[in-house]
Structure 1
Amino acid sequence: MAIPFDQLPLSQATKEVRGDGSRVFAVFEDPNCPICRVFTKFVEQLDNVTVYRFMFPVISPQSQNLARMAWCSADRAAVWKSMMEGARPRLAESCDTSGLVEILRTGERFQINNTPTVVLASGKRLVGATPPEQFLQELDKGGRLPAGGSSR
């Protein structure tokens, strides 16, 4: 079931560009998802990628608390990344979490029920533990935005 990449709320994701950023994908992930944490380590080894990470706290109430902590931190990307590496910081800040709500609604809209769920620029969805070789093949095939496409 494809997901139009341009219909993702990319402004609510943390964005990371490595190398020329030519291969583009989004990932919906939960800090309490062991497969997500393994996938994060794998993604850290990739070059020439633009990664949009969506905080998708669906596994447990603890996941929701962690996502709120990261969302309300001064450096969302760094705090989320540390959580995906296993850190459990204690942050007391609170803020407007409507962006997290928008991410969760997007998940409902596109029937994203598992983490990690990857959406390639082509719209192809990869769910769960995709073997690294297969992921790289899919990324090379479907990870480029069409000419004139924008990744905001």
Structure 2
Amino acid sequence: DDTIKVIRSTIFALSEHATSDEAPGLRAQVLQVCQDSVEALGFSPAVRFTGPVDFEVSDEAVDHALAVTREALSNVARHAKASRVDVDVATTDGYLVLRVADDGCGMPDAGRRSGLANLAERAAALGGEFTAGPGENGGTVLVWRVPLEA
């Protein structure tokens, strides 16, 4: 069922982009960022959208969300040794929520965290929050959450 939802969402985004003279929405841009990461990752990220992400998110939040997605996928490619990454974008309860989860080796206890600090700063700039930690079954889960009014 999840796979079918992803396929439908992708088809919707592609058909919407093909028939519109407007700049692509968040959905199409996230799909492009994920597509751009395939070579570095060695596989395609699974992407899921929930809610009207193209209509409720401000341009400023879109710009930040795309940068966060790029950084998160770059971190997975460089550090995680993952074979799967899920990118979930949702508008729910007045928030834009971006969740990136991988099945990799997890975050080391020590090490440079400048990329993660940047993601936290981007969330704080919009009145939101950012968390990073271990996944239920290993790997790492990043959650970037900002108010839709941002």
* Structures share fold, TM-score greater than 0.5: no
Relative to its length, the structure with more helix (as a share) is: 2
Taking CA–CA contacts closer than 8 Å with sequence separation of 6 or more, which of the two structures ends up with the larger relative contact order? 1
Normalization by structure 2: what TM-score?
Answer: 0.30
Relative to its length, the structure with more strand (as a share) is: 2
